[in-house]
Structure 1
């Protein structure tokens, strides 16, 4: 009897010991997704954000995607993983990647003034703009404001010497690029990057098929924003329409070790994108790379970019080139930043953990 009890006790201990590694070996994305399934609906309700959609990357692959809430507070149409959102300023890294391919092809120089590529000066009475380069635009050191907002566009400081977030800089570069490639932004970036990456639901201009699958933007009370404004003209700084899964395909491209594809940038160019160009004035552990914001307190850096449009969309993306993980979060409410920040707190604990 004693021997039988001893065997039973040993078997129980062994069973428990074996189960511990199994728990610890649960994929990081699975741990994160279980917590997000519980947390996200509560966050949407708490912050009056109608909907959200999230995609996770692990081992350099899209491993999980899920949608929560509704696309429109009036129609109550549910968000799906195919729902299209505005990527807002997350448009900038995509455009940056495509432009750096022109640099590799010798069609554009990072440190050559952009006016050299244009038929005439962008601003006839602003001499400082004549020294702005693509590198300055990507790192937000052009001296341009974010947007002119009906005012005369001017340069606030000598380009390249200080930091000032600027959408106008990206529009300036876009005009130079369109001159170089001799076609508008949308067809060029579709052919050179979006289509090769299989980003079938992505476009820098409104598409008719979006009518049935696009989320509506909402105000801080969770109500549908006024008359919807569709982007008929592309702007490299903010007009990208996409899904989290589509944008995650772009992050996978950033993480890819095989750089042989025709559309892919060389590994050295990727390293340049993730090399600090200027430290942010309000945070010494953050810097601007080429197109990305960089967390410089770790090596190699972690890259991210968020987005916020006045049309009622808030989003965020982040990836870690060391661990090959990433996330894309998109929401359709003005308070969406509070949602994605809380989601990121979970992911920093469960997904973005370095060994």
Structure 2
């Protein structure tokens, strides 16, 4: 937990204007779980939840009525120095870099400098994406890469220690030199499936560098970051001297600071943006301008519509899509680099939020902040769902407690279930912090449980009559008692 909690709590408001202070104070006491217990509705205080989850700093920007309503930061940017976080503190955006990169691509498409349906190897000069029978049948294009449908490998990147010998973009995609990830290849036919691929975005990065003859960060800063009014941001893995004092330090799950404060990502298109929630909200509003065909937008309405057209996997070009059935109601993206977690969502009706944290534990509080935003600003989604529930019986406590396991990608995932209060406590090997679940009800022989943070699972018997726990779409079998 925080070593300097007293100083965090003493900070209070950091950057709220006088006009915003009352609204921010109301919001900071409105954090809410994804699911609420009927008859026991709860709200939480921001600083108390930061302490609970061991998240040193949280920075938030709220979009309402088509504009930025306010932005504000809580806590400290570095637990060693105790430096106060402000709305100007810079966080690693991690994968929120991807939609900004995609936006720059669409600016080049609008200028006729790129085509979404041209084979990517036509743009690559210094290296070629290895061809095989899959890519020969359907060549990989920019559209495939931006939508994660290219069949390219390498999910994400661990980053490099500050001062290390960083690989070139070519070495990253080739898995050569000092690269710490494997070569990017195609292992399913492009366009036929969806799989998240930071490797694919790095192939796109190299294509643009080969095409333009300049470093990718230079392209995005010139085309998108500066013209969009992201005045405090920079798209680069080399931190400019005048920005170093503004950086937040990343923190590991145990509260320790990441060595040197952060890891470095030469995979710029996928992960290197340093920014603030206010700047990401500004970028989101620029996207909204284009979507609505406002004169002077940085991309055409046609390109904006194409970015927000569902392709596969809930994804468009650059953005993940918020959908109700087949209708697209917003765009979003999360970010996860070592020591940092972030999330942005903008609804097409002009509401949204951007949340950035300097901790690997950040998603826990981000979920509650999004529920607070939805509840406070009347979003059509993300509002806390009120669930009927009941206390677990003594028989259920005895029957369901134990250890369960299932195989995932060649390794065993194990869960331990114990009785806790009126429900159950579930723990897993590194994937789920100890979380309390409550019984929702019975249906067709299954007992459904839910956690207030939003996760659900159920107990039932399989065809062999064995007790199984359904979690994340998998059947976890109960293990023999030891």
TM-score by length of 1: 0.83
Aligned counterpart, 2:140 = 132
Does the CA-based 8 Å contact 1:202-1:241 persist in structure 2? yes
| Higher RCO by CA contacts (8 Å cutoff, separation 6 or greater) | 1
Q: Deviation of residue 219 (structure 1)?
A: 0.8
Deviations 1:118-174 (A, max 9, x none): 225423465645611111111111112214754343222111111110001001011
Aligned counterpart, 1:97 = 103
Aligned counterpart, 1:51 = 57
Aligned with residue 363 of structure 2, among 337, 340, 345: 337
Q: Deviation of residue 354 (structure 1)?
A: 4.4
Deviations 1:158-208 (A, max 9, x none): 111111100010010111112222211122211111111221221122221
Structure (1/2) with the larger helix percentage: 1
Aligned with residue 189 of structure 1, among 220, 224, 233: 220
Aligned counterpart, 1:174 = 205
Are the structure 2 counterparts of residues 326 and 106 from structure 1 closer, same or farther at C-alpha, using a change threshold of 3 Å? same
Are the structure 2 counterparts of residues 334 and 120 from structure 1 closer, same or farther at C-alpha, using a change threshold of 3 Å? closer
Aligned with residue 41 of structure 1, among 19, 41, 47: 47
Aligned with residue 351 of structure 2, among 325, 328, 341: 325
Does the CA-based 8 Å contact 2:125-2:207 persist in structure 1? no
Counterparts of 1:74 and 1:120 in 2: how far apart (Å)? 44
Does the CA-based 8 Å contact 2:250-2:262 persist in structure 1? no
Aligned with residue 115 of structure 2, among 109, 112, 121: 109
Deviations 1:213-236 (A, max 9, x none): 110000112221223445474610
Counterparts of 2:23 and 2:380 in 1: how far apart (Å)? 15
Aligned counterpart, 2:343 = 316
Structure (1/2) with the larger strand percentage: 2
30-39 or 328-337: bigger deviation: 30-39
Counterparts of 2:24 and 2:77 in 1: how far apart (Å)? 24
Does the CA-based 8 Å contact 1:123-1:129 persist in structure 2? no
Does the CA-based 8 Å contact 2:124-2:210 persist in structure 1? yes
**Runs of 5+ in structure 2 lacking a partner?**
1-20, 31-44, 157-174, 382-482
Residues 1:307 and 2:335 are matched in the alignment: yes
TM-score by length of 2: 0.62
Secondary structure at 1:342's aligned position in 2? helix
Are the structure 2 counterparts of residues 193 and 292 from structure 1 closer, same or farther at C-alpha, using a change threshold of 3 Å? same
Secondary structure at 1:301's aligned position in 2? strand
What is the alpha-carbon root mean square deviation over aligned residues?
Answer: 2.5
Counterparts of 1:302 and 1:30 in 2: how far apart (Å)? 28
Counterparts of 1:87 and 1:208 in 2: how far apart (Å)? 19
Counterparts of 1:121 and 1:333 in 2: how far apart (Å)? 36
115-124 or 95-104: bigger deviation: 115-124
Counterparts of 1:115 and 1:321 in 2: how far apart (Å)? 35
Are the structure 2 counterparts of residues 314 and 264 from structure 1 closer, same or farther at C-alpha, using a change threshold of 3 Å? same
Residues 1:350 and 2:381 are matched in the alignment: no
Aligned counterpart, 2:165 = none
Length, aligned pairs only: 319
Residues 1:243 and 2:271 are matched in the alignment: no
Counterparts of 1:222 and 1:41 in 2: how far apart (Å)? 16
Secondary structure at 1:70's aligned position in 2? strand
Q: Deviation of residue 33 (structure 1)?
A: 6.2
Are the structure 2 counterparts of residues 308 and 277 from structure 1 closer, same or farther at C-alpha, using a change threshold of 3 Å? same
